[in-house]
């Protein structure tokens, strides 16, 4: 009886195989579009599902299925993810190899960055994660087998200590990058001419003098006023701009150079804001907003990537020195677009709640706006000091 069952089962499995073989021609592929990101699941909330990471445009992914606004896509033989349909376009692919092999790796110092480059004959999906406190950065390459038998490392590296390439699944190659520094000043991962190029920023001089700081005034223009004051109907966008201009003046007084995303009441998309900051090669970024909702009150700061937690926390601690304001919270893994860039440390400051009468009265007071921006500027300075201390301590442990 048992052997008959096995016979039947294997017959159906064989049947299943021959059907999928016939379907091979109709395998569907999508190419990623600018701003694309992968979600680990199909869950969602107000700002979208849990993001695994952003990926650049032009990466081909095999479609496994569709769920409303998402494609389920294959990362490797055993892994899949979800991508919003708006960031993926159908693409006709004839030469998609399920698995490719990696080529030579080189690591060099390019001035402001150390640059790691790995030869890959096709663009493959990757996910990167920095764990600066433990001194590591991990990049998983999907659909790639390790054939990197040359890892050329120059001796003048400033941010990269070591690099290792290990096959963690039959078709996932993991690059583990040992970092010299314990504080994070940003990185980028991007394909350039047949190579995946990873740039890891060097530590800056640990002083605000000469540092380039991006300040974003949230919302703006006729279509994005942001929240409204419950009592006075004041527009959030106007308060944000006023505070951003104050923060600019205060940071410049400490010697920093400040790049604003907007300096008047103009409309800007999130991509345009990010483009301004990248074009100016900023060292860090703060986005200024006012909160609203329910009966909540108080101040809060937000980050997406774990390496920015300390920055967001330091800003929050400084703001909380102001008498009488409530703590709303320190929020991590947050899906705000301007928290997504990895190229520079960044944090979102939700000053106070416009929907709370006491908070609204404070936000409407120019003296309070000056005071809270003084605390933000002090928080930036404290963070730079903290980084200096950490790097000094870790250097002392090297021999
Ligand atoms: Zn806002």
Q: What is the pLDDT along the chain (399 residues), one digit of tens a residue?
A: 344 444 333 333 333 333 344 355 578 999 999 888 898 877 765 556 677 888 889 999 999 999 989 999 999 999 999 999 999 999 988 888 889 999 999 999 999 999 999 999 999 999 998 877 778 999 999 999 998 877 777 789 999 999 999 999 999 999 999 999 989 999 999 999 999 999 999 999 999 999 999 999 999 999 999 999 999 999 999 999 999 999 999 999 999 999 999 999 999 999 999 999 999 999 999 999 999 999 999 999 999 988 999 999 999 999 999 999 999 999 998 888 899 899 999 999 999 999 999 999 999 999 999 999 999 999 999 999 999 999 988 887 764
Question: Which residue is it, tokens 């395998």?
Answer: 27
Query: Got the DSSP string for 244-306?
Result: HHHHHHHHHHTT-EEEES-SSS----HHHHHHHHHHTT-SEEEEEEEE--TT--SEEEE-SSG
Residues at Cβ < 5 Å from ligand 1 ion: 218, 226, 289
- 236 CA to middle of ligand 1, Å? 7
- 100 CA to middle of ligand 1, Å? 44
Q: How far apart are CA 151 and CA 171, in angstroms?
A: 20
Q: Answer whether 379's CB lies under 8 Å from 317's CB.
A: yes
Neighbours of 16 (CB within 10 A): 10
Residues 6+ apart with CB under 8 A from 81: 38, 39, 40, 52, 72, 73, 75
Q: Which of 380, 346, 386, 366 is nearest to 252 (CA)?
A: 380
List of domains in the chain: 27-96 (2.30.30.40), 100-201 (2.60.40.3500), 212-387 (3.40.630.40)
Inter-CA distances, 391 with 129, 142, 346, 396, Å:
21, 33, 19, 9
What pLDDT does 46 receive? 56
Q: How far apart are CA 391 and CA 389, in angstroms?
A: 6
3-state secondary structure of 28: coil
Quickly list H helices, the chain: 2-22, 236-253, 270-279, 309-319, 357-363, 366-396
- 290 CA to middle of ligand 1, Å? 5
- 362 CA to middle of ligand 1, Å? 17
Beta bridge partners of 126: 141
Inter-CA distances, 349 with 301, 313, 324, 329, Å:
5, 10, 18, 11
What pLDDT does 189 receive? 94
- 43 CA to middle of ligand 1, Å? 24
What pLDDT does 125 receive? 94
- 30 CA to middle of ligand 1, Å? 34
- 248 CA to middle of ligand 1, Å? 19
What pLDDT does 13 receive? 38
What pLDDT does 24 receive? 52
Q: Which of 32, 52, 34 is nearest to 335 (CA)?
A: 52
What pLDDT does 59 receive? 93
- 2 CA to middle of ligand 1, Å? 65
Q: Which two tokens stand for residue 55?
A: 């990926």
């Amino acid at each position: 009886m048992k052997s008959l069952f096995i016979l039947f089962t294997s017959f159906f499995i064989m049947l299943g195989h021959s059907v999928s073989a016939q379907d091979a021609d109709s395998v569907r592929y999508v190419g990623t579009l600018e701003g694309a990101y992968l979600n680990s699941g199909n869950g969602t909330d107000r700002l979208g599902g849990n993001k695994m990471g952003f990926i650049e445009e032009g990466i081909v992914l095999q479609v496994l299925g569709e769920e409303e606004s998402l494609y389920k896509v294959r990362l490797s033989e055993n892994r899949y993810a979800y991508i919003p349909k708006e960031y993926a376009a159908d693409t006709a692919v004839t030469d998609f190899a399920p698995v490719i092999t990696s080529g030579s790796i080189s690591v060099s110092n390019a001035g402001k960055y150390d640059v790691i480059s790995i030869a890959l004959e096709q663009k493959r999906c990757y996910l990167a994660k920095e764990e600066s406190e433990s001194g590591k950065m991990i990049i998983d390459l999907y659909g790639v087998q390790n054939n990197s038998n040359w890892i050329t490392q120059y001796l003048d590296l400033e941010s990269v200590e070591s690099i290792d390439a290990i096959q963690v699944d039959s078709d996932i190659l993991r690059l583990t990058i040992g970092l010299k520094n314990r504080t994070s000043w940003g990185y980028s991962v991007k394909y350039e001419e047949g190579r995946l190029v990873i740039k890891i920023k060097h530590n800056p001089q640990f002083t605000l003098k000469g540092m380039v700081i991006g300040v974003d005034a949230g919302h703006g223009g006729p279509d994005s006023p942001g929240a409204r004051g419950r009592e006075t109907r004041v527009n959030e966008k106007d308060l944000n701009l006023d505070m951003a201009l104050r923060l600019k003046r205060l940071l410049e007084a400490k010697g920093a150079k400040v790049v604003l995303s907007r300096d008047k009441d103009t409309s800007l998309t999130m991509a345009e804001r990010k483009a301004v900051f990248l074009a100016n090669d900023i060292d860090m970024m703060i986005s200024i907003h006012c909160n609203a909702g329910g009966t909540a009150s108080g101040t809060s700061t937000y980050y997406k990537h774990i390496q920015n937690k300390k920055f967001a926390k330091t800003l929050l601690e400084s703001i909380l020195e102001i008498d009488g304001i409530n703590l709303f919270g320190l929020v991590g893994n947050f899906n705000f677009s301007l928290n997504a860039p990895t190229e520079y440390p960044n944090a979102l400051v939700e000053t106070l709640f416009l929907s709370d009468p006491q908070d609204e009265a404070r936000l409407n007071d120019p003296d309070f706006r000056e005071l809270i921006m003084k605390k933000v500027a002090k928080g930036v300075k404290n963070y730079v000091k903290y980084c200096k201390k950490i790097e000094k301590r870790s250097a002392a442990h090297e021999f």
